[in-house]
């Protein structure tokens, strides 16, 4: 009987140790997942920002729809104008064009090429920058507006990503593909129900509707 009681105490002690370890590890796991996902989403948003810059240069406004912007990036073209010829000293460009000394050459290049020229880091994300990672196809939403006064009109936009979208479908990060059986069992013991814990997550955003800024929340 004494031996059984000792075994019971050992099992109980191990169980309590596991609970303590679990309570410590779960918040740290959440922080780690949030940081990793934050960085992934940030890279998508930076790509989106570069795409909006190119879109505005072409159309003098920002894209108001993520589908419109995504189609422009992957299928659209931008206009490149350059003067061919040599501008004589003392003559304005306007006069040289009028006299035929200079000729304006117009070419088209893929929008994606211009975006990668501006920021080579965007290239891996051009095909799917419209999708919020880990959200099973959910897309970013763009809000657009215009700042106006008596002398100017400035287009603006903003994109918000709430904490729930950042941390959706946690099992994808806890048990990525090819996770071994033992690891899955360990993760189940330690992190099952993690998305139902009482956690609050900072939202992310980029741009502003009240000022001319395309700064992100991470900057």
**C-alpha span between 40 and 49 (Å, rounded):** 15
Res 2: pLDDT: 67
Res 15: pLDDT: 57
Which residue in the block uniquely carries the two structure tokens 């509707």?
Answer: 209
Res 17: pLDDT: 60
Res 23: pLDDT: 64
**C-alpha span between 58 and 54 (Å, rounded):** 6
Is 187 exposed, middle or buried, given 0-12, 13-18 or 19+ CB atoms closer than 10 A?
Answer: middle
Res 116: pLDDT: 97
| φ and ψ of 147, to 5 deg | -95, 125
Res 135: pLDDT: 93
Res 179: pLDDT: 84
Residue 157 CB: number of other CB atoms within 10 A?
Answer: 22
Within a 13 Å sphere around the CA of 165, how many CA atoms are in the beta-carbon half?
19
Regions of the chain with pLDDT less than 70: 1-25, 195-198
Res 109: pLDDT: 94
Tokens of 51: 């795409």
Which residue in the block uniquely carries the two structure tokens 């303590």?
Answer: 20
Under a CB-based contact definition with an 8 Å cutoff, are residues 50 and 69 in contact? Answer: no
Res 4: pLDDT: 63
Dihedral sign of CA atoms 158, 163, 169, 175 in order: positive
Beta-strand (E) ranges in 97-191?
103-110, 143-148, 153-161
């Amino acid at each position: 009987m004494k031996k059984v009681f000792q075994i019971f105490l050992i099992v109980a002690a191990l169980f309590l140790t596991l609970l303590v370890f679990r309570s410590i590890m779960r918040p740290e796991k959440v922080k780690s997942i949030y940081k990793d996902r934050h960085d992934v989403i940030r890279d998508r948003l930076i790509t989106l920002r570069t795409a909006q810059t190119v879109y505005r240069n072409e159309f003098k406004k920002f894209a108001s729809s993520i589908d419109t912007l995504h189609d422009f990036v992957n299928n659209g073209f931008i206009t490149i104008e350059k003067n061919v010829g040599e501008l004589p000293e003392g003559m304005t460009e306007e006069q040289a064009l009028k006299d035929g000394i200079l000729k304006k050459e117009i070419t088209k290049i893929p929008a994606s090429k211009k975006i990668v020229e501006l920021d080579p880091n965007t290239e891996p994300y051009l095909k799917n920058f419209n999708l919020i990672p880990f959200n099973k196809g959910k897309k970013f939403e763009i809000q657009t507006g215009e700042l106006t006064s008596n002398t100017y009109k400035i287009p603006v936009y903003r994109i918000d990503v709430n904490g729930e979208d950042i941390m959706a479908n946690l099992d994808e990060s806890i048990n990525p593909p090819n996770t071994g059986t033992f690891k899955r069992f360990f993760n189940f013991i330690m992190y099952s129900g993690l998305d139902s814990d009482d956690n609050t997550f900072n939202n992310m955003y980029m741009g502003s509707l009240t000022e001319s800024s395309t700064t992100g929340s991470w900057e």
